[in-house]
Amino acid sequence: MARPRKPSSLKLLQGTFRADRNPKKEPKAKKVSSAVFPAAPAGIGKYGRRWWTQIGQALADMGVLGDVDMAILEEAANVWQRMKENQHAIYHDGNGKTRSLSDYYESRGYLRKAMPELIALEKCEATYAALCGKLGISPADRNKIDISDKHEDVDPMEQLLQGALG
């Protein structure tokens, strides 16, 4: 399976952008302003709305969120909402009491096919991880981004060579 393409904005932030390896006329998405970040779309629950506000604002502040990314952001917020709902169903019994994962297993007779909440949670987690990778917000992707303001215009090796030759 081929490695998925990475947006040029992430390459620029990571310092790995090379003009010779990118398309000459790459379509540019209009950046979402962090000052006027839109409210969460209707139909997203409270956990999804909170996620939308926190993560969406952070992505807009970093400058990696474009207007065409809003659909992916909305889907990720919906998946986050479903994950939280499934976690609540697993860790709370029908009477509103908190229970452990082993209590959940025991209540279902340890039969995997009798655990629809757990199966749905696992699917949501996989989908969420994929969406985070597309948005560049997974821990591995975030670790590669340098958002510091200092960008050197001159290569340090070039400075060293010019100093030795000059």
Q: What is the pLDDT of residues 82-111, one digit of tens each?
A: 999 999 999 988 787 899 988 888 888 888
Q: Does the model's pTM come out above 0.85?
A: no
Q: According to the model, what pLDDT value does residue 45 have?
A: 94
CB neighbours (10 Å) of residue 39?
Answer: 10
Residue 37 neighbours by CB under 8 Å, 6+ apart: 53, 56, 57, 60
Q: Which residues pair with 99 in a beta bridge?
A: none
Q: According to the model, what pLDDT value does residue 153 have?
A: 62
Q: According to the model, what pLDDT value does residue 165 have?
A: 63
Give, for all 166 residues of the chain, the pLDDT tens digit.
778 777 777 788 888 888 888 777 766 778 888 788 899 999 999 999 999 999 999 888 887 788 888 999 999 999 999 999 999 999 988 787 899 988 888 888 888 788 899 999 999 999 999 898 888 776 566 555 555 555 556 677 777 777 766 5
- Tokens representing residue 103 in the block: 């209590």
Place of tokens 């969120």: 65
Q: According to the model, what pLDDT value does residue 9 have?
A: 72
Longest dimension (CA), the chain: 80
Q: According to the model, what pLDDT value does residue 107 have?
A: 86
